[in-house]
Structure 1
Amino acid sequence: MDILHIVVLAVIQGLTEFLPISSSAHLILIPRLLGWEDQGIAFDVSLHIGSLIAVLIYFKPQLSYLLSNWLSSFKDKKINSESRLVWGIGIATIPVSLVGLAITNTGVDVLLRSPLIIASTTIIFGLLLGLAEWIGTRERNEYSLTWQQIILIGLVQALALIPGTSRSGVTMTAALLLGLTRKAAARFSFLLSIPAIILAGADETLSLVMQANHSVAWSDLLLGATVSAFSAYWCIRLFINLLDRIGMFPFVFYRLGLGIALFILVV
């Protein structure tokens, strides 16, 4: 791959994985619009690894504390708020895992990559994000979620398998509608991304391994992962720091503009 292509796609992945604007939509559409060849499964895996590294580094102190409490819950046979959150993240990951397995190798995932579908979901879920920003009470943190609400967010996350939806976007939308503050919604969404990214990366890695006679350009993958990790880390940091100041409407307007532009380009 051309170095420019690698850097551009890696930066886009790093930024859009955690912003509520859909990373998959951008990674599908930008190569098409610019006439670039498909980057391939191996490169997608490297970008996911970069995003995963970024979120693990940013949330390292909180993750260490959460996992410590989760492991202690086995010994003490008691669940506190931290270990409960870890269990909740695991439970909320089940729906997207099952749906992902159900559509794998069925051809449905290919059909969903249509520019018209991406344009539609970009607008529809952008409007829902705007509604959540408008009517959300923003009074609670992620530890206050009930089991039913955690399952609901998990079910909503499965919609992110449709390109243009945005995993972070739909989970933050659901969390805001349930009354979480913007930062709490973002934190829960980002923590929820960890198993989701691991599963997506594992699935893509398996597909790569099963491809016979597939040569891998390791230098391209390393560069892609590095740039993706760097851009994703700063995206998370800036997003959380600025979230209360700017709110969600800038992303709503971006999604609406992007969706309209896509309709104009593909119709």
Structure 2
Amino acid sequence: MSGACTQGVDTGFVVLGATKVAILGVVQGITELLPVSSTAHMRLVPALLGWQDPGSAFSAAMQLAALTAVICYFWKDIYSITAGSIGAVRTGDWMSPKLRMSVGIVLGTIPIVVAGLLLAPLLNACDSPLRALPVIGFSCLIMGILLAVAEFVCRHKRQADDMRLRDALIVGIAQVGALIPGVSRSGSTLTAALFRDFTRQDAARFSFLLGIPAIALAGLHELVVLVHAHLPVQGWAILLVGLVAGSISSFAALWGLMRILERFSTWPFIIYRIALGIVILWISFG
């Protein structure tokens, strides 16, 4: 189904109602932080259930739920990096790993901010061609293959404290791919970090820390867009239901992901992504 529009902004979630949005909030929350593409699930699940497409505005605003989960889970890291960076600036310790991490996060955020601003009209448009199922299917498939290559060819030995600015910029450029539905922000950044030979746990940790500014900016920007689109009070209430459900499920998904990467590898997600891409393409062209 095509999305509903509010002054040119895709707001299909409003017509779904609180119950359906809560269900989609759980799905979005689980898939937002896993390297499996939340957008793919936000298109596929409603399509299979015969529901209205919740729209790109819902997916973007729901990143605030993921942001809440990431901040809560990595709070000690965030505090340590922030305090360490401030201390390094005060003492002139310009080689501090904490300061290097902070600068790297800022540097790695620049590419997606620039690309996001340039592509915003296309990304938020009603019936955006980027949300077409074939685009999402091919994106899932390609990213699954790239993640598999990273598992095969990379050594997974480097630690996050060994991160260089070049690493941050490369992962930041990879993050731009998340603007294409089906790619997945965590999937693209995790894959890029693995290609830089980071351990799986530290690749995920750096991926999420790097993503905090981008997720925050995207979510807050979408709230501003919805305000300017004069979203009705009912719409805000429904969105809040989705955000609460998404925050809880995002934290659970993040906890599970880190446990899996500590003990195993990304192969469960690789197999799932490739299978999902094939299913979406089969639905699209079958």
Q: Distance in 1 between matches of 2:153 and 2:99?
A: 30
Which residue is 1:103 aligned to?
119
Which residue is 2:100 aligned to?
84
TM-score (normalizing by structure 2): 0.87
The 3 A distance-change label for structure 1 pair 146 and 217 is same
Which residue is 1:5 aligned to?
20
The 3 A distance-change label for structure 1 pair 73 and 20 is same
* Aligned residue identity for 2:158: R
Deviates more, 1:142-151 or 1:214-223: 214-223
The 3 A distance-change label for structure 1 pair 211 and 190 is same
Q: Shift of the alpha carbon at 1:44?
A: 4.0
Q: Could you list the runs of 4 or more consecutive aligned residues of structure 1 that deviate by over 3 angstroms after TM superposition?
A: 1-4, 40-46, 106-109, 212-219
* Aligned residue identity for 1:100: G
TM-score (normalizing by structure 1): 0.93
Runs (5+) with no aligned partner, structure 1: none
> Within 5 A, what are the aligned runs for 1:211-222?
211-212=229-230, 214-222=232-240
CA RMSD of superposed structures (Å): 2.0
Runs (5+) with no aligned partner, structure 2: 1-15
Which residue is 2:180 aligned to?
162
Which residue is 1:139 aligned to?
157
Which residue is 2:37 aligned to?
22
* Aligned residue identity for 1:67: T
User: When the two structures are aligned, how many residues end up with a matched partner?
Assistant: 267
Q: Distance in 2 between matches of 1:52 and 1:8?
A: 19
Q: Shift of the alpha carbon at 1:3?
A: 3.9
Q: Distance in 2 between matches of 1:82 and 1:241?
A: 24
Q: Shift of the alpha carbon at 1:40?
A: 5.1
User: What is the percentage of aligned positions where both structures have the same residue?
Assistant: 36
User: Which of 213, 233, 246 is matched with 1:228 structurally?
Assistant: 246
CA contact (8 A) 2:140 2:273 kept: yes
The 3 A distance-change label for structure 1 pair 91 and 136 is same
Q: Distance in 1 between matches of 2:247 and 2:238?
A: 14
The 3 A distance-change label for structure 1 pair 213 and 186 is closer
> Within 5 A, what are the aligned runs for 1:191-202?
191-202=209-220
CA contact (8 A) 1:46 1:222 kept: no
User: Which of 273, 276, 284 is matched with 1:255 structurally?
Assistant: 273
Q: Shift of the alpha carbon at 1:4?
A: 3.5
Q: Shift of the alpha carbon at 1:233?
A: 0.8
CA contact (8 A) 1:85 1:143 kept: yes
The 3 A distance-change label for structure 1 pair 203 and 213 is closer
2:64 matches 1:60: no
Q: Distance in 1 between matches of 2:42 and 2:123?
A: 19
CA contact (8 A) 1:42 1:221 kept: no
* Aligned residue identity for 1:69: G
CA contact (8 A) 2:62 2:219 kept: no
The 3 A distance-change label for structure 1 pair 196 and 129 is same
CA contact (8 A) 1:92 1:150 kept: yes
Q: Distance in 1 between matches of 2:177 and 2:202?
A: 21
Q: Shift of the alpha carbon at 1:108?
A: 8.9
CA contact (8 A) 2:157 2:199 kept: yes
Q: Shift of the alpha carbon at 1:87?
A: 1.2
Q: Shift of the alpha carbon at 1:239?
A: 1.1
Q: Distance in 2 between matches of 1:223 and 1:105?
A: 26
Which residue is 2:207 aligned to?
189
The 3 A distance-change label for structure 1 pair 89 and 173 is same
* Aligned residue identity for 1:225: L
Q: Distance in 2 between matches of 1:156 and 1:46?
A: 21
* Aligned residue identity for 1:33: L
CA contact (8 A) 2:194 2:203 kept: yes
